[in-house]
Chain A
Amino acid sequence: MELLCPAGSLPAVKAAVDHGADAIYIGFKDATNARHFAGLNFDGKKLDKAVDYLKKHQRQLHIAINTFAHPEQHQLWYSAIDRAVEIGADVVILADIALLEYAKNTYPDLTVHLSVQASATNASAIEFYHRNFNVKRVVLPRVLSIHQVKQLSRACPNMELEVFAFGSLCVMAEGRCYLSSYLTGESPNTVGACSPASFVRWQETEQGLESRLNDILIDRYGPNETAGYPTLCKGRFEVDGERYHALEEPTSLNTLELLPELFAANISAVKIEGRQRSPAYVAQVTQVWREAIDSYQAQPEQYAAKQQWMSQLAKLSEGSQTTLGAYQKAWQ
């Protein structure tokens, strides 16, 4: 099982490699990837250095080109694929069928993984991508229970499956959420960012600290509450006069406890979320997961998620809470 870790910067690449990642995923410094934030991602010399570091340490490089090409601007996206090939990336992660078609026709030997943004959640959808584009691996959206993941694995024996292991929890089927564009006009699918920072505003008021997105109130915090980033699916709203997290609480996904089941489901890779996170975060999460995977592989029967790992990861989580999310049946 591959441990696939995120990097938004060169120090994060080094942190992931040095702490045991098998593979790293990155994006270019433009709207072609779904984590398009200022100060993040790669081009020029930093890209070359990242590639060198990975080659020297013999780790795999995945490049996410997982937004959707704009009309009359497809060349920007096609060029991103060309560039990924030129620098010797091992894998490109794609979502747009236009890009999948281009990659298949132009680089038939290139390894292509289907991005979570393509939202393939069942065997027939996976078959579509396999038949048309010879996709080698599918990254599963965070909407499936572990039972459903196992079913899929049995139904698609020739397809590698990758699941999210740890990090921010996207509560909606990825690639199919327009909540952010509804409030801001900027879409994860087209611009590559959810709740873009330029629309975020914090305000101290008599009623407490307020977080706003494009002037719309997302949450209001009491003096002792930890304030979260105003991702709108994690705000507190009112339904029939009752105020609560109507969509999702600010928690992070942590599947350490499920590791034996993920092995049993023949999962090819576990993915850590967080290209927008610091190198220190990447280092710590990578280290814990490396230990966990090694510990399982050394003695599968003895495996248990250590309390120390769990508390280390909890400290790195939103609201210091972790959840098994959709993987556990109770959540459904």
Chain B
Amino acid sequence: MKYSLGPILYYWPNQKIEEFYHLAKASSADIVYLGETVCSKRRNMKAQDWIDMAKQLSQAGKQVVISTMALLEAPSEIRNLKKLIDNGDFCIEANDFSAVEEAYKAKLPFVCGPAINIYNAYALKVLLDQGMQRWVMPVELSRDWLQKLSHECTEMGIRERFEIEVFAYGHLPLAYSARCFTAQSEGKSKDNCETCCINYPTGRVVNSQEGQPLFVLNGIQTLSGECYDLINDQQSMKGLVDIVRISPLGEESIEHLEAFRLRSNTGDHFPTPDSVNGYWHQIAGIRQQD
């Protein structure tokens, strides 16, 4: 099993980003994804800054993938996407079909990210023909779904042509909107948001009127209120999953990656209070099943 650090979903100051990747270099992560995937107004790190960061990580021996935005609405966003695709060295994670299209035109191999809707082997076959090398399963799918899909791929003779990655830790990206919910929560419009999401390094929690955490506001993105954690489900990934993704919540997520790795071969139960794993078990994502 290989372990990856997913792209940082939140808006962190540059210094925090640099510190995080400094630690990532020294970690046992096999693959590091980086780049802005949520909002094009988060511009502290420019395209070239991400590419430079990617080079540093690559020199430290990490396989690096540059992640791209999930919701692209403006021509300027497509231009920025093309800059990332023209990076010269690294494969990209496509989180929208625009990135698939541009990567195909540039003949650049790509990872199909979790924000692209792929639910069956025939859809994967289409993407393989466009240059896909790895598939990150949509977060709402289960082990059972993956098993059937993987079996279908084997029958079609395409299973050996790509890797399968599963989002296994972090708040789940659940939705993208035209509205910025963080700005709205501060009484601001999206145009005048002052990138206030930088004040919430792990987003803003939305509770039900009974105090149950439901969602996390992260700009135009809505995340799950509870943290998804499949650390105790790794045995059931054997033979099915190639790469386990840890979505960074902070520097401590790198330690959690090490904890994942330590428990990959043991059945030891790792305490995971306040986390959920429902989707993997084919029940509501918000639920936990032992």
| Chain A residues near B (Cβ < 8 Å) | 68-72, 74, 95-98, 101-102, 117-125, 127-129, 131-132, 142-145, 148, 151, 155, 171-173, 175-179, 181-185, 187, 189-190, 214, 216-220, 232-233, 235-240, 243, 246-248, 325-326, 329-332
- Closest CB in chain B relative to A163 CB, distance in Å: 13
* Cα A104 to Cα B33 with chains together (Å): 35
21 A-B residue pairs with CB within 8 Å: A68-B117, A96-B119, A97-B123, A97-B127, A123-B98, A125-B72, A125-B96, A125-B101, A129-B97, A151-B75, A171-B177, A177-B174, A178-B138, A185-B284, A189-B117, A190-B119, A237-B215, A238-B211, A239-B185, A240-B204, A246-B206
Find out whether the CB atom of B117 lies under 8 angstroms from the CB atom of A214: no
Q: Is B212 in contact with A98, judged by CB distance below 8 angstroms?
A: no
The answer on a CB contact under 8 Å between B98 and A183 is no
A133 to chain B, nearest CB (A): 9
Task: Say whether B175 contacts A177, CB under 8 Å.
Answer: yes
B-chain residues with CB within 8 Å of residue A131 when the two chains form the complex: 101
Given known contacts A98-B123, A98-B126, is B178 in contact with A331 (CB within 8 Å)? yes
Check A122 against B77 for contact (C-beta < 8 Å). Answer: yes
Neighbouring B residues of A331 by C-beta, 8 Å: 178-179, 189-190
Q: Tell me whether B123 and A96 are in contact (CB under 8 A).
A: yes
Q: Is B15 an interface residue (CB 8 A)?
A: no
Chain A residues positioned under 8 Å from B127 (CB to CB): 97
Q: Name which of A68, A101, A132, A185 has the most chain B CB atoms within 10 A of its CB.
A: A185
Residue from B70, B120, B217, B286 in contact with A69 in the complex, judged by beta carbons closer than 8 Å: B120
- Asked whether, in the complex, the Cβ of B178 is within 8 Å of the Cβ of A144, the reply is yes
Smallest CB-CB separation from A96: which chain B residue? B123
Assess the B119–A189 pair: CB atoms within 8 A: yes
Determine the chain B residues whose CB is within 8 A of the CB of A185 once the complex forms: 278, 282-285, 287
| CB-nearest residue of chain A to B208 | A217
**Which of chain B's residues 187-232 have a Cβ closer than 8 Å to chain A?**
189-191, 204-212, 214-215, 217, 222, 224
Chain B residues touching A, range:
35 or more
Residues of A within 8 A of B240 (CB): none
Chief secondary structure at chain A's binding surface: mixed
B249 at the interface (CB under 8 A from A): no
Q: Which residue of A lies closest to B126 (CB)?
A: A97
A91 to B: closest C-beta gap in Å: 21
Decide if B122 is an interface residue (CB 8 Å cutoff).
yes
Q: Which residues of A contact B283 (CB under 8 A)?
A: 185
B181 at the interface (CB under 8 A from A): yes
- B222, A124: Cβ atoms closer than 8 Å: no
Q: In the complex, which of the residues A98, A122, A236, A248 contacts B72, with contact meaning CB atoms closer than 8 Å?
A: A122
Bound complex: CA A142 to CA B104 (Å): 27
Which residues in chain B, 208-264, are within 8 Å of chain A measured between CB atoms?
A: 208-212, 214-215, 217, 222, 224
The reply to whether B206 and A121 contact each other, CB–CB distance below 8 Å, is no
A69-B122, A96-B123, A187-B140 known; A179 vs B215 contact (CB < 8 Å): yes
Inter-chain pairs besides A129-B97, A171-B179, A329-B191, 16 sampled, C-beta below 8 Å? A98-B123, A124-B102, A128-B98, A143-B177, A171-B177, A171-B178, A178-B138, A184-B284, A185-B283, A232-B214, A237-B215, A238-B206, A238-B209, A247-B181, A247-B222, A330-B189
Hey, which chain B residues are within 8 Å of A125, CB to CB? Answer: 72, 96-98, 101
- Tell me whether A68 and B179 are in contact in the complex, defined as CB-CB below 8 angstroms, given that A177-B174, A216-B214, A332-B190 are known contacts: no
A246 to B118, CA, bound (A): 29
Q: How far is the CB of A49 from chain B (nearest CB, A)?
A: 33
| Identity of the chain B residue whose Cβ is nearest the Cβ of A144 in the assembled complex | B73
- Are A68 and B176 touching (Cβ within 8 A)? no
A69 to B118 Cα, complex, angstroms: 9
> How far apart are A22's CB and chain B's nearest CB, in angstroms?
28
Q: How far is the CB of B23 from chain A (nearest CB, A)?
A: 30
The reply to whether B73 and A143 form a contact with Cβ atoms under 8 Å apart is: yes
Within 8 A of A (CB), among B257-290: 278-279, 282-287
Flag B124-155 by CB within 8 Å of A: 1 or 0 each: 01110010000000111000010011011000
What residues of chain A lie closer than 8 Å to B98, measured between beta carbons? Answer: 122-125, 128
Most buried by A among B70, B185, B208, B210: B208
- Chain A residues with Cβ below 8 Å from B211 are 238
A121 cross-chain contacts in B, Cβ below 8 A: 71-73, 96
